[in-house]
Amino acid sequence: MIKISVTIITYNEEKNIARCLQSVKGLADDIVVVDSHSKDLTTKIAENLGARVIKRPFPGHIEQKNFAIEQARFEWVLSLDGDEALSPELKDSIKKIKEKGTKPGVNGFFFNRLTNYAGLWIKHCGWYPDKKLRLFNKAHARWTGMNPHDIIEMKSASKTGFLNGDLLHYSYDSISDHVNQTNKFTT
């Protein structure tokens, strides 16, 4: 049986973190939340739901996610953002990997991400399927890219597989939330 650490980076995710953590209940053997000194109830909610919370200033998405991986107690890591959650089908797919193991040489798994934008699930315009690699053996993967656009990069000899189910991404509650985030990223 494979043990899985779930890593989550957060900042002011009190409206999302409970959903995220509840979606990995019964799957995670270790949950670490790396929080960038949230000003809301994010850390209290996470602690109450059994997560190990580490507070750390935010150096950038890539750096924070790699730090989170380093804190994981187990080799296999499921890396999530605070505004994401596993669909029941994806959770079942990961449970099968956890129970049966992987094929020889497979060190990471892709699955589709489905985005909710202002209350609507977006299944068009290139947003779906948004294939993401988020379950991996940490000895074979690192976060890379250019902040804030991070991506998992596997070592060259590593093989990957694909799991059924969706990673549910609760992106923006409204258009004004989207504009505010765009302003934050461009400032």
Higher pLDDT residue, 134 or 175? 134
Q: Cβ of 172: how many Cβ atoms within 10 Å?
A: 18
**Is 80 exceeded by the pLDDT of residue 172?**
no
Please give the helix or strand (H or E) that residue 92 lies within, else none. helix 88-100
Q: Give the position of tokens 């107690």.
A: 73
pLDDT score, position 45: 98
- Average pLDDT, stretch 6-33? 98
Mean pLDDT of the chain: 93
Q: What is the pLDDT of residues 66-119, one digit of tens each?
A: 999 999 999 999 999 999 999 999 999 999 999 998 888 899 999 999 999 889
Q: How many CA atoms lie within 13 A of 113 on its CB side?
A: 22
Q: What is the pLDDT of residues 34-76, one digit of tens each?
A: 999 999 999 999 999 999 999 999 999 999 999 999 999 999 9
Residue 24: name the closest of 92, 96, 111 by CA. Answer: 92
pLDDT score, position 46: 98
In sequence order, the 6+-apart residues with CB closer than 8 A to the CB of 55 are 35, 36, 37, 43
